[in-house]
Chain A
Amino acid sequence: MRWYVIRRVAWAAVVAFVILTITFLFLEITPDQQVAQLQFQAAQSGGDPEAALDAYEQRRGLNQPLWDRYTEYVTNYVQGNWGWSDTRSEPVLDAIVASLPYSIMYSAPSIVISTVVGMGIGLYSALNQYTKTDYAATFVAFFGISIPNFWFGIMLLLIFGETLGWFPIIFQTSIADTQTFSLANLRQLFLPIVVLSTGAIAGNMRYARAEALEYVRAEFVKTARAKGATGWRMLSRHILRPTLVPLSTLLVGDLLGLLLASSLLVEVVFGIPGVGRLSYDAIINQDTDLVLGTVFIPVFISVVGNLLQDIAYTVLDPRISYGDR
């Protein structure tokens, strides 16, 4: 087992590296939008567009040959120097570390909520298929997933934030930093969490329901029933446990999400300076170093996540053996 894990982790590093290289190349190929703007400005004011272009390239370090830039960046990465973000004026690592907590603050609770609630409803629906409660739960879940997040967020802000005044409009990072677990912080995180949870519950619910349904009718559940097991016991021991095997793919994904998830739309609407905006702005502004940094972490972690998932599988389902992989 140990070797297996080590091999997989090493593989994860390789995959991450490959993806980084590809991202780097993509960034190279993409035409830079800011250049056109800058040149136009210069021309308009009677300046020299060429000089403006040169200044820009030089500032961004773009006038070095491709290979030099590439090798420089690789060595830096390995050493833990992830570069300097031009658009944030701070080291890339700082930028990521600074924005990550804000993302976690709203995404972790919403993932927990949507997973627990979603799966709970899903299991319940599986056992009580086609009852009114089943239909109601399905309706609510689909409502949540159909509503566009950003519109929902804006609506909630207008109604509960502006009209009713229950929640603040602006996200105050100072509160988030110093009073992370306080009521004040909860107040400003409440609406973003609600928006994200409602969207995710439906997915979890349907998936859990579908998987559980497969097992509800299973023979071994009948055996358990014949043994005299209670409904609750059947649910938790006999249905949930095997259901977890396929569900684990979702769960591990969710757990990773606890670390990494962020929703750009939610962050834009609520003004939260999280990882979503960081990544997006980096790409739009072609802040190469930052893009690479924000790509690297999720890639690496999701590769590791795949590994964790595989391990979870082998633990949860004794029929699966990892030996011959």
Chain B
Amino acid sequence: MSKILLDIQDLRLSFFTPAGEVKALNDVSIRMNEGDVLGIVGESGSGKSVTAYSIMGLTAHPGRIIGGTIDFNGHRIDRMTEKEMRKIRGNEVSIIFQDPMTSLNPVYTIGDQIREVLFLHTNLDKKQAQHRATELLKLVGLNDPEKRLKQYPHELSGGMRQRVMIAIALACEPKLLIADEPTTALDVTIQAQIMELMIELKKKLNMSIIMITHDLGIVASMCRKIVVMYAGKVVEKGTVEEIFYNPKHEYTKGLLKSIPKLNATEREKLVPIPGTPVDMLNPPPGCPFAPRCEKCMKICIRSMPEFTQISDTHASACWLLQKEAAQALKGGNSIGK
């Protein structure tokens, strides 16, 4: 197997707001290998973006990591100073944000903004940087790169701007690229184009990617492994096949039921998950999904289930699995007797 690139262990992160401590991440553990494409799915507020930002050391005020470790490419991110982090950001790990319309500085040209990251992390001179910037724009499929470099962000469309953001992210050939819902703010046709570009770049550059999204379609087309998050917790993780064909957690099942299928043979209904997420200011002691879960049991309300390992790669945190396991074990025992 290939080398472990990122290892997040029991990460806990809270936002200390005037209203109280918001526990945004609770014991999040994620591991990925070099060359992996990992999808993190979950609804808004589930902590998927917060997890990604913490890998960049970009936890926004008033958020703070209060426990756990982040190990990236041999760096202990959670222990690094801001100054050390700056050498890694945009260099070894870079990020593409959700909204390309607002992620580029409106008063600088595209060229300025690409060259900026090159000057920060490489020793290229002006001419070389210009050359590299042109190359990058070609790489992300923008025509007429020399002209684009002189343009301002507002002169480009949303899709083009996202391509520029990707170019900036790829400028220093990072080990890991984090894509934080890179297509959510774009039109459907543009979404497809950007996804195609990402898949193509992945093949070309063989880098590791974390794809954060609530769109399971994107995950299916691109990722090999999936982490499902709910209310600041990882509830299930596994390979694409395992998650799609053998979901174990009730939330994952709900998610899969709520996406439309094109090739549905009979008239299938889309089933939304009823209810709203729990209040993160006062998180309940039990499973956060319990209030919305159809199969909620008494124990779910009282305590958080441990992970049940279904296969080497597949694990899910649900009391139902514990129950099944216990029953299987008891059955086994009775047979033995």
Bound pair: A and B? no
Binding site for A on B (CB under 8 A): none
